[in-house]
């Protein structure tokens, strides 16, 4: 099954060292971890990504690098996530090769249709709810976009944007395979314990709704 919880480690919101947090989340059972640092220099971003990839090399969690397929390939990460203003998925695939996951952000049905026909392993949808995580967030799309997107593709759908523990069941019920969580994890007193709560909830929600859940895309993990 596609990982139900997608932890996004935003450097600006980190309260503990990012490597420690990533290792703790992986130990808690999180299988998909993205590192995002919009304000770091390329040199600093590469250094941290390299350290993260090494730290998670023997873990069951797949490391996804935000924005930079070149860095993902160089450090041996498990994949890259690109936005609508980053490299196109096809170009990212040329850099990363076939062994790493490519994820893409979408904010409307036209973008979902394009992603469904692109060489991507999962499609992110959002923001589902209001969020302050991004400085210039796209308009809130609600769970209705998940329902409509589910009709267009069998690729895994990752919901993102303002998703909390209380709101997660509604998101899974709409047809999402996975929830990307940022603030509700990173601002918790114990992110690993919070992650375990999300994983228990996700298991119950997906079992109850029988949401379409394709097998994870192929390709290697970190390392």
Domain annotation covers residue 118: yes
Domain annotation covers residue 223: no
Residue 223: predicted pLDDT: 47
The CA distance from 78 to 167, in Å, is 28
Q: Looking at residue 24, which CATH number applies to its domain?
A: 3.20.20.70
Domain annotation covers residue 182: yes
The CA distance from 203 to 123, in Å, is 20
Nearest alpha-carbon partner for 60 in 20, 35, 33: 33
- Average of pLDDT values for 65-87? 97
What is the domain count for the chain? 1
Domain annotation covers residue 64: yes
Domain annotation covers residue 43: yes
- Model confidence band, residue 222 (pLDDT cutoffs 50, 70, 90): low
pLDDT digit string, tens, across residues 124-163: 999 999 987 666 568 999 999 999 999 999 999 999 999 9
Residue-range definition of the domain harbouring residue 131: 5-209
The CA distance from 4 to 14, in Å, is 22
- Model confidence band, residue 215 (pLDDT cutoffs 50, 70, 90): low
Q: The whole model's pTM is what?
A: 0.93
Domain annotation covers residue 186: yes
pLDDT digit string, tens, across residues 86-123: 999 999 999 999 999 999 999 999 999 999 999 999 99
- Average of pLDDT values for 34-41? 96
The CA distance from 96 to 71, in Å, is 9
- Name the H helices within the chain: 18-27, 42-55, 69-75, 89-96, 109-116, 144-150, 168-173, 183-186, 191-209
């Amino acid at each position: 099954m596609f990982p139900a919880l997608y932890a996004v480690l935003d450097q600006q919101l980190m309260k503990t060292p990012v490597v420690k947090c990533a290792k703790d989340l992986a130990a808690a059972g999180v299988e998909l971890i993205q590192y995002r640092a919009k304000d770091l220099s390329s040199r600093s971003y590469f250094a941290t990504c390299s350290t993260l990839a090494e730290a998670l090399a023997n873990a069951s969690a797949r490391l996804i690098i935000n924005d930079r397929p070149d860095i993902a390939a160089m450090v041996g990460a498990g994949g890259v996530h690109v936005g609508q203003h980053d490299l196109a998925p096809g170009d990212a695939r040329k850099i990363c090769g076939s062994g790493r996951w490519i994820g893409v952000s979408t904010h409307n049905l036209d973008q979902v249709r394009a992603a469904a026909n692109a060489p991507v392993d999962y499609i992110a949808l959002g923001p589902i709810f209001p969020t302050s995580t991004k400085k210039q967030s796209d308009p809130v799309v609600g769970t209705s976009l998940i329902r409509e997107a589910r009709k267009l593709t069998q690729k895994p759908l990752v919901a993102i944007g303002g998703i909390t523990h209380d709101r997660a069941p509604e998101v899974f019920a709409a047809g999402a395979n996975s929830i990307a969580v940022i603030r509700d994890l990173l601002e918790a007193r114990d992110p690993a314990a919070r992650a375990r709560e999300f994983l228990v909830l996700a298991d119950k929600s997906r079992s109850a709704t029988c949401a379409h859940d394709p097998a994870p895309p192929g390709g290697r993990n970190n390392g």
